[in-house]
Each structure stands twice: as C-alpha cells, then as structure tokens.
Chains A and B, each alone.
Chain A
Amino acid sequence: MSAGPGQKRDSPPPRAGTGWTVMSYLIGGMGLYGAIGWLIGRWTHIAALFPIGLLVGMGLALALVIFRFTRS
C-alpha cells in the first residue's frame, strides 16, 4: 500500500527524501549481497552465485522498503 497524502493510517507522511531512501536501500542491498555472493562464488568457483546474490539483495531491499514504509 502506498502512503498517499490522504491516507488515514498513522504512517509517516511521504517526504522528499523517501524516494531517495528507497533508492539507497536498493543500491545498498544489491551492493552488499552481490558482494557476498561474488566472494562465495569466487571461493567455491560457482559463477552463478554473483547474480543470485544480486537478486537476493534486491529482494531483501524490497522487503526492507515494504516493512519500513507501509507497516509502521
């Protein structure tokens, strides 16, 4: 559920920085888990772990966005 201005629930009002916060979560998630995936992939010689790590990171970042901005 998006936090529109007319929303009755007591979620925080959307501010200019919210969009950029979401973007930095996505970059952070992909960067962190992509790096972990890449490292493990390098260690175990399974190249596919890098893209898998990227996807996992993106999924977790999306989960974080959902938790933080829709359920408070």
Chain B
Amino acid sequence: MSEVQAMTAVGGCHIFTGCGYPAPSYQDSFIFKPIFTIGGFEFTKPMMLVVFAVVLILSFFGVAFRRPQLVPRGAQNLAELGVLAVRDQILRPQLGRKGDRYLPFLVSLFFFIWLVNLFELIPWIQFPAMSRYAFPLSLTLIVWVTYMTIGMRSQGPVGYFKNMAVPKGAPWWILPLLSPIELLSNIFVRPFTLSIRLFANMLAGHLLLVVFSLGTWYLLSLSIGLLYAATSFIVVILVFGLEVLITLLQAFIFTTLTAFYISDSLEAAH
C-alpha cells in the first residue's frame, strides 16, 4: 500500500475526534501486493520500479549516443555531462587513468541507484525500491563478485588473500591476531556495510516522509490542529529537500566505495 492509499485508509481520522494517530506500519508502507503473476512469480511495485528505471536509463543513453556527434547537442550533451561527472568525481580520484575500463560499470551503477532512489520523491510513484533489502543486497553481490574477481586476477588467487591478510607495517608476532580481522572486514563486513548503508538510508527517508505526511493529514482540523498540521507539513518539505540530497549522496557513496574496493583489489594494500 502506498502513502496515498494509506491516507485514504485512515480516511476521516483526525485529531480531537477521539481517534488515535494511525501510525504507519511497516506492513502498510513497505509491503506491496503483487500487481501481476507470471508462472507463480509475483511482480510487485518495487520490482516494476526497478524494471522501469532500467528501461528509462537504457533508452536515455541509447537515444543520447545513437548518432554521437563530435560537438554534442541536446540529450548527448546531458549524457556526456553525466558520464564525465562520474569519471572525474568518482573514478579518477580512486583509480586514476588506468581505471577507465571500469567506467561503464560505475556509470551504470551510479545512474541506476540514483534514479531508483529518486522514485522516492516523484509524486504517485513515491517509493524507493532500495528500501527493500533484496535490491541493495543483489547490487552489493555484483560489486563483491567484481572486486574479488579483479583481485584474484591481478594478484593471483593466493597472492590476493595473502596481500589482504598481511598488513604492511605490523610486527610479525601480532599477525595471527590481526589477519583474521583483515580477512573478515574485507570479505564479509565490506559487502554488509555497503548494502546496509544504502538500504537503511532509503528506508529511513521513506519512513520519515510517510510519518509526517500522515501526521499532516491527521492533525488537520479547524482548530489549533491547523497549526500542528502546518508544522508537520513544513517538516515534510524539509525532509523532502534532505532526501533530494540523500538520493544523490547514496548513489555517489555506493559508486565511490565500489571504485575504492576495485582499486584496493588491483594493487596490494599499501
């Protein structure tokens, strides 16, 4: 159920009518009924949003680079701006020029996450698919397989784990205690924090918007409640502004850390 549906469900429930605040539950705000089913496989709103985002990005970049001009105009100009921004702000600081072969991966990752996050703020769509944990988790799995593979390729399967486990500068006698931490944090904690960060941020953002939107509706009445409602509405607007930043920031951080992990795999730790 979306916010709009949740609001209709609480309907005429307002303050001073003997009706308690209908706090939005996880069930109401994040669990969706399947829209349609193909062969027992249920398609829900978040899944359709992700498919929609993929189609949107593919068609945008497809149109933009269909007949590339030397002097870009229109859509090509915008697309080049985006690609170059990812290259200069995310890829180059982490990987340098030698990392340019990973640009397509990072560009896709960045724009996919950003667009899927932005759906949180677009009226009537209003849902960040990344607040369902399976989506950030599967993205993180792709990143994990990528950086592990790159590491084993460039340093050899044994050398990669050896370089990972032996931090330079540590005396030899403490290594048996420190190596397990290195291995654990590189192999398990990294993907865990990477996915949780994105997931928790989008979940919290959506929850804040739902709580204060419902609050605005609930507090609305021809009394002092009007003042409460106005305050709640101002919070909605402020949180909305914050979320505009956060959607971009989370896409940026996810991509930056991916680039960092790849660069860590390319060369032995310093």
| Contact between B264 and A17, CB atoms less than 8 A apart | yes
Task: Decide: A67 and B170 in contact? CB cutoff 8 A.
Answer: yes
| Other-chain residue from A16, A17, A23, A71 in contact with B169 (beta carbon distance below 8 A) | A71
Q: Is B80 interfacial (CB 8 A cutoff)? A: no
A22 to chain B minimum Cβ distance, whole angstroms, is 10
B174 at the interface (CB under 8 A from A): yes
Let me know if A16 and B178 touch, CB within 8 A: no
Q: Are A60 and B94 in contact (CB under 8 A)?
A: no
CB nearest to B177 among chain A residues: A60
- Tell me the complex Cα distance, A32–B169, Å: 22
Distance between Cα atoms of A49 and B5 in the complex (Å): 51
B79 close to A (CB within 8 Å): no
Q: Please name all residues of chain B whose beta carbon is closer than 8 Å to the beta carbon of A28 when the two chains form the complex.
A: 181-182, 184-185, 188-189
Chain B interface residue bracket vs A: 20 to 34
Residue of B nearest to A26 (CB): B185
Residue pair B270, A16 in contact (C-beta under 8 Å): no
Contacting residues, chain A, for B250 (C-beta < 8 A): none
How many Å lie between the Cα of A53 and that of B149 in the bound state? 33
Q: Which residues of A contact B156 (CB under 8 A)?
A: none
* Chain B contacts with A in 178-203, Cβ cutoff 8 A: 178, 180-182, 184-186, 188-190, 193
Shortest CB-to-CB span from A36 to chain B, Å, is 9
Interface membership of B257, Cβ < 8 A: yes
What 0/1 pattern do residues 250 to 270 of B give for CB contact below 8 A with A? Answer: 000000110011001000011
In the bound complex, how far is the Cα of B186 from the Cα of A11, in angstroms? 21
> Which residue among B168, B181, B193 has the maximum number of chain A CB atoms within 10 Å of its CB?
B181
Q: Does A1 contact B (CB under 8 A)?
A: no
**A67 with B169, Cβ < 8 A, contacts A16-B256, A27-B185, A72-B270 known:** yes
**A64 and B257 in contact, given A15-B93, A16-B93, A24-B193 (Cβ under 8 angstroms):** no
Say whether A41 faces chain B, with CB atoms less than 8 Å apart. Answer: no
- On whether the beta carbons of A27 and B177 are closer than 8 Å, the reply is no
Which A residue's beta carbon lies closest to that of B188?
A28
Closest to A25 in B: B185
Q: Given A20-B193, A23-B193: A15 and B94 within 8 A (CB)? A: yes
Chain A hits for B180, CB < 8 A: 32
Q: Which residues of B contact A54 (CB under 8 A)?
A: none
Residue of B nearest to A71 (CB): B169
Please indicate the chain A residues that have their CB under 8 angstroms from the CB of B225 in the complex: none
- Answer whether residue A29 sits at the interface, using C-beta atoms and an 8 A cutoff: yes
A31 vs B189: C-alpha distance in the bound complex, in angstroms?
A: 9
B169:A68 contact, CB within 8 angstroms = yes
User: Which residues of the partner chain A approach B167 to less than 8 Å between Cβ atoms?
Assistant: 64, 67-68
CB distance from B193 to the nearest CB of A (A): 6
Mark B residues whose CB is within 8 Å of A. 93-94, 167-170, 174, 177-178, 180-182, 184-186, 188-190, 193, 256-257, 260-261, 264, 269-270
Chain A residues packing against B (C-beta within 8 Å): 11-12, 15-17, 20-21, 23-25, 27-29, 31-32, 57, 60-61, 63-64, 67-68, 70-72
Closest 9 CB pairs of A and B: A17-B260, A28-B185, A71-B169, A67-B170, A24-B189, A24-B185, A28-B184, A12-B270, A68-B167
